[in-house]
Amino acid sequence: MIVILLGPPASGKGTQAVALCTRYGIPQISTGDMLRQAQAAGTALGKDAARYMSAGQLVPDSVVIGLVGERITADDCKNGFLLDGFPRTQAQAEALDKLLSEKQCPLDAVLQLDVPRELLVERAVLRRTDKATGKIYHLKYNPPPEGAVLEHRSDDQEDKVNKRLDDFERVTTTLIPYYQARGLLRRVDGVGSLSEVQARLFAALPG
Ligand code: AP5
C-alpha cells in the first residue's frame, strides 16, 4: 500500500496518519517531521531547512526529494508507506513517479483532506505537540493530558500559517488535477470528530 496524504497545513494529516499506518502496517513518512528532526539534531541540512520553515516557506525541492528518495529504500518500506506532506510541488510529484517506477511499485491512492481555511488557521494556531511522545493535540478540540510538556511550532503563528496556506493554494493544489487525471485522487471531508474523519479515510482506501 503506497498512499499520499495530501491536504493543506493543519488539515489533520499527521493526526490521521497514525491510525492509517497502524491499520495497514506501513510507516509514516512525514517530510515536515524529518526536517524538524534534522533541525533538532543541528545537522547542516536541518540548519538550512530551518531558514525556510521558520518563515513558513517551502524547503527547496532537491532537499525533500533527496530525503524521501533515501527513506523509501529502508527495510520497513518494503510493504509500502504513507507519505504525509510530500509531494507538494509538480517537481516533487514527478520525482516521486520516477522513484516509484524504479522500485516498480505503483501508487495506490492520494487522499485529499478538505477543510475550510478559517478552521485550518484555528487548528494550527491552537495546535500543541507533546515534546516527549510527539503526539499532536489541540487546545480546544483534542486537549493534551495534564502535565504534558508541550511545544508550539514556530511556524504556527497566524501570519506564517496564512503564508503556508497561500503557498498550498498557489502551488500544491496543482497536484489535484495531476492525480485526478490518473484516477488516484479521493477527496475526503476533513471536518468532524477525529474518529469520523478516520472512518471516511478508511472507506476511501482500496481493498
Ligand atoms: P509539515 O509539518 O508537513 O506541515 P503542514 O503540511 O503545514 O502540515 P501540518 O503539520 O501543519 O498539519 P497536519 O495536516 O499534519 O495537521 P495535524 O494533524 O497536525 O511541514 C512544515 C514545513 O516543513 C513546511 O511549511 C515546509 O517549510 C517544510 N516542508 C515539509 N514538507 C515539505 C515538502 N514536501 N516540500 C517543501 N517543504 C516542505 O492537525 C492540526 C491540528 O488540528 C492539531 O492540533 C490537531 O489536534 C487538530 N485536528 C486534527 N484533526 C482534527 C479534527 N478532525 N477536528 C478538530 N481538530 C483536529
| Helices within 30-142 (DSSP H only) | 31-41, 44-53, 61-71, 90-103, 117-125
What is d(CA 111, CA 58) in angstroms, rounded to the nearest whole number? 21
pTM of the predicted structure, to 2 decimals: 0.96
For residue 87, whether the previous peptide bond is cis, meaning omega lies within 30 degrees of 0, is: yes
Instruction: Produce one character per residue of 67-84: b if its CB has 16 or more CB atoms within 10 Å, e if not.
Output: bbeebbeeeebeebbbbb
| CA atoms 21, 5, 35, 125: torsion sign | negative
> Where residue 77 falls among pLDDT bands split at 50, 70, 90?
very high
- 34 grid coordinates: 524529518
Q: Ligand 1 centre and the CA of 11: distance in Å?
A: 7
Residue 196: is its pLDDT beyond 80?
Answer: yes
Q: Of 39, 47, 59, which is best to mutate to test ligand 1, by the most ligand atoms within 8 angstroms of its C-beta?
A: 59
What is the mean pLDDT of the segment spanning 165-187? 97
Catalytic residues: 13, 88, 127, 153, 164
Instruction: Establish how many alpha carbons lie within 13 A of residue 180's alpha carbon, considering only the half-sphere containing its beta carbon.
Output: 7
Which residue has its alpha carbon closest to ligand 1 atom 26? 58
- CA 181 to ligand 1 center in whole angstroms: 26
Nearest CA to ligand 1 atom 29: 32
End-to-end, the C-alpha distance of the chain in Å comes to: 10
- What ligand 1 atom has the least distance to the C-alpha of 191? 53
pLDDT for 206 equals: 77
Ligand 1, atom 3, lies closest to the CA of 32
User: Strands 81-84 and 28-30: what pairing?
Assistant: parallel
With a pLDDT cut of 70, the percent of the chain lying above it is 100
Report CA(80)–ligand 1 centroid distance (Å): 22
Look at residue 89 in the predicted model and tell me its pLDDT: 98
Look over the chain and give the mean of its residue pLDDT values, rounded to a whole number. Answer: 96
- Name residues contacting ligand 1 (CB within 6 A): 7, 9-15, 31-32, 35, 52-53, 56-59, 64, 85-86, 88, 92, 123-124, 127, 136-138, 141-142, 155, 164, 192, 194, 197
pLDDT digits (tens, 9 = 90+) for 125-147: 999 999 899 999 999 999 999 99
